[in-house]
Structure 1
Amino acid sequence: MEPEKVRAPNIRDVARLAGVSYQTVSRVLNDSPSIRPETRQKVLDVIEAVGYRPNQAARALVTSRSRTIGVLTSQSAHYGPTTSLNAIETAARDAGYRLSVTTISTADYASTRAGLDYLMSQSIEALVVIAPQVRVFDAIHELSVGVPFVTLESTGRDPGHSLSVDQTEGARLAVRHLIDLGHSEILHISGPQDWIEAEARMQGYLQEMNEAELRTRAPVLGDWTAHFGYYAGLELLRFRDFTAVFCGNDQMALGFMHACREMGLTVPGDISIVGFDDIPEAAHFLPPLTTVRQNFVEIGRRAIAVLLGELGGQPDQNHTPITPELIVRASTSRVVVR
C-alpha cells in the first residue's frame, strides 16, 4: 500500500494557525500597509514554521502582477553574458522578483520576435535584453515591447534604455598600460566581427594607439576561444615583430600564452600579454594574467534598479556606463630593448 501523500500547506492553513482570516494572510503576502505590525509578524512566523509557499500564478490573477522580469538572451556560454545573467537573477531575487528566461537561437528578426512574444505571454512586468549582436537590438526597437526594458549593450545608440560596462575605455586601459611600460609594437586579437563588445574593444585599441601616435596593425579577428589564441599565436610568433599583445578576452590570452611556451618564449620576458574580463581562472594562469575586470554584479544590480524605478513611477536615469578596472598581474612588464 502506497503511503499517503502529504498535502502542502495552503493559505487557509496559515490563517487558521495564525488565528486570522485568509484575507489578512493575503494582505500580508502583498505587503499591505493596513496590517498591524504584530499581526504581520504572527502571520510571517506561521508561514516560516509550516513552510508555506504562495502560488505565484494565483497571486498574479488576484494582484494583476506577475513579479516576473523577462530576459531575452542569445545562445552563448561565454563568461560575460552568463555572469551578467547570474548577477541579474540575484538582484531580481533580492528585490522579490523572479526571472523568465528565453534564449534565441539566431540573431535574426524572426527569432527575436518569437522570443519576445513568448516572454510577453508570460505576463512579464519588465525586460532585460542580453545579446552580442547589434541586429538583435535593432529588432527590439522595431517591435512594440510595451513594458519597461533595459538592454545590456555598449553601442551608445540608445542611452535611455542601455546599460553596460564601458568596453572601449576598458580596452584603452589595457593598451595604455602596455604603452606606459614602453611597448610601441602592440597587436590586438579581437573577438568576432559581429559582436558588440569585440567592436568596442577594437575601437579602444585603435583610439589609444592613435592618440599615442603609434603604428596600428589590422586586428586579428578571433572567436573568443583559447584554441584560436593558441593557433593565432603560433602563426604570429613566427615573425615576432611585436613585443605585446592585447587579447579581446582572457581565453584567447590563455591560448596565446600556450603558443609562447611552445615556441620557447617567456611571458612577459619576450612578450607581454593583457586579456579582458578577469575570469576566475585568470589569477592562476602561468603567469597570472594582467586583464580588465568587469563588475557584473554591479551591472545586475543597476539593471534591476533601473527597471524597478520605472515600474514604481520613479525612473532611474543613471545609465552612465560602468567604468572597468585594470588588474595588473605578472603577464606584463617593461619592454626589453634588444
Structure 2
Amino acid sequence: MAMVASRAGVSGQTVSRVVNGSPRVDPDTRARVEHAMAELGYRPHRAARALRTGRSQTIGLVVTTLATVGNSRMLQATAEAAAERGYAVTLVTAAQGVAEAFDRLAEQEVDGAIVLNEASALVSDAQRPAGLRLVVVDAPREDGFASVHSDHAGGAAVATARLLDLGYATVHHLAGPADSFAAVERERGWRETLTAANVRPPSVVRGDWTAESGYAAGADLLSAPAVFCANDQMALGLLRALSESGRRVPEDVGVIGFDDVPEAANYRPPLTTIRQDFAALAHRAVSALVDAIEGAPGADEASVVPTVLVERASAASH
C-alpha cells in the first residue's frame, strides 16, 4: 500500500479508503490510485484484511431453492451488488432448515446474511448465532433484522384496477402458495381493489409458482372474464390452458402476470405484467446489510421497492 501511495502521490490512508470502497475519495484521486494499483499489480489480501478489521468481507445468501425465477435473478443481482461494495457471497440452501444454514454460515465466519423469499418465512422461528446480522427479503418487518421487499400489494392493486378499467366484469386470481409473503401480499392487493370497486372477490385458485400449476389451474378458470396471476410462470401455463380450450386472450379473457420475466414479451400473446426491479431489491438488501455490518445508522429498517405495470397484448379494452 505504501508503494501504491507513493506512485499515486497520496497518503496511505487514501489508498486504504479506495481499497475499502469508501465514498470519501474524489473520483480523480480514486482513478489515480486504481491506476497505480493496476500498474504495480496490487491486490488486497482478504485474509490479512480480515485479521486487521475483524470482518471477512463475505456475506451469506440463504435460499430454499434456485428453481424459481425470483430466487435465481436475486442471486445474480445480489452477487453483483455485493461485489460493488467489496464483498463476496457464499450461497447456502435451507434444505435442512434455516437454523442449520445459519450455523454453516457462522462456521464460515461470514459478516452477515441475506435470506431470500421462501426461506424468509422460516426466520422468525429459527435460532441464529449471536451477532449474525440479517436482512430478510420478502418478509414483514421484525425486531432484529432489516426487511426489503417489492410493493407486492401495490402492484397487484394496479394490475387488478387495470383489468377493471379495461371493462372486464370481474377479476379472478391465480395465487401463489399460502405460506409465501409475496403471494399473500399480492392476494391482499387484488382483494382490496375489488372490494373498493364494489366487486365481490371470486374464490382464489392457488398454484405453486410453476407453469405446470398454472396450466392445471386453467380448468377452474375457463369461465373467468379476467385473471390476475401471481407470477408470470403460472400465467404462461394458464395461457396454454385457455388456448387449448378455445378461449381467446385478450378477446375472451384478460390476463396480467407479475414479475416481468425476460420471456414475458414473447408469450403468446405477449404478457401484460407487473415488473419487479430485482436489481434494486438486491442493492437495497446488500446496502442494508453492509451498513449494519459497518455500523451505519438506520440499517435496521424496512424498505419497499416500487413495481411498474408493463402493458402488452394480453389485456385490452373489453
Q: What TM-score does the superposition give when structure 2 sets the normalisation length?
A: 0.85
- Please tell me whether residue 105 in structure 1 is matched to residue 95 in structure 2: yes
How is 1:274-285 mapped onto 2 (pairs within 5 angstroms)? 274-285=256-267
Cα RMSD between the aligned structures?
3.0
CA contact (8 A) 1:154 1:167 kept: no
- Give 1:180's aligned residue: 165
Change (3 A) 1:27 1:333: closer
| CA deviation profile, 1:233-255 (whole Å, cap 9, x unmatched) | 14532xx1x21011111011111
Of residues 138, 143, 153, the one that matches 2:138 is: 153
Change (3 A) 1:121 1:160: closer
Change (3 A) 1:90 1:316: farther
Of residues 139, 157, 168, the one that matches 2:125 is: 139
2:131 partner SS: coil
CA contact (8 A) 1:25 1:43 kept: no
- Give 1:222's aligned residue: 207
CA apart distance, 1:155: 2.9
- Give 2:78's aligned residue: 88
- Give 2:112's aligned residue: 126
1:83 maps to amino acid: R
> Where in structure 2 are there 5+ consecutive unaligned residues?
23-28
- Give 1:203's aligned residue: 188
2:68 maps to amino acid: H
- Give 1:267's aligned residue: 249
In 2: Cα distance, 1:113 partner to 1:154 partner: 17
Change (3 A) 1:159 1:210: farther
Change (3 A) 1:153 1:284: same
How is 1:1-338 mapped onto 2 (pairs within 5 angstroms)? 28=15, 45=35, 47-49=37-39, 51=41, 53-106=43-96, 111-132=97-118, 135-140=121-126, 142-157=127-142, 161-237=146-222, 240=223, 242-316=224-298, 319-335=302-318
CA contact (8 A) 1:112 1:139 kept: no
Change (3 A) 1:232 1:51: same
| CA deviation profile, 1:199-245 (whole Å, cap 9, x unmatched) | 111111111111111121221111111122123214532xx1x2101
CA contact (8 A) 1:225 1:251 kept: yes
| CA deviation profile, 1:72-104 (whole Å, cap 9, x unmatched) | 222232111221222121111011111122111
| CA deviation profile, 1:162-210 (whole Å, cap 9, x unmatched) | 1111211111111111111122232111112222211111111111111
In 1: Cα distance, 2:67 partner to 2:82 partner: 21
CA apart distance, 1:154: 3.8
What is the aligned length?
307
> Where in structure 1 are there 5+ consecutive unaligned residues?
1-10, 34-38
In 1: Cα distance, 2:298 partner to 2:230 partner: 32
In 2: Cα distance, 1:323 partner to 1:42 partner: 38
1:85 maps to amino acid: L
CA contact (8 A) 2:134 2:145 kept: no
Of structures 1 and 2, the larger Rg is shown by 1
In 2: Cα distance, 1:180 partner to 1:96 partner: 47
In 2: Cα distance, 1:28 partner to 1:185 partner: 62
Q: Percent identity of the aligned residues?
A: 35
CA contact (8 A) 1:18 1:42 kept: no
2:147 partner SS: coil
CA apart distance, 1:105: 0.8
1:204 maps to amino acid: G
2:305 partner SS: coil
In 2: Cα distance, 1:155 partner to 1:174 partner: 22
Change (3 A) 1:203 1:124: same
In 2: Cα distance, 1:42 partner to 1:155 partner: 44
CA contact (8 A) 1:87 1:296 kept: yes
In 2: Cα distance, 1:161 partner to 1:186 partner: 34
1:99 partner SS: strand
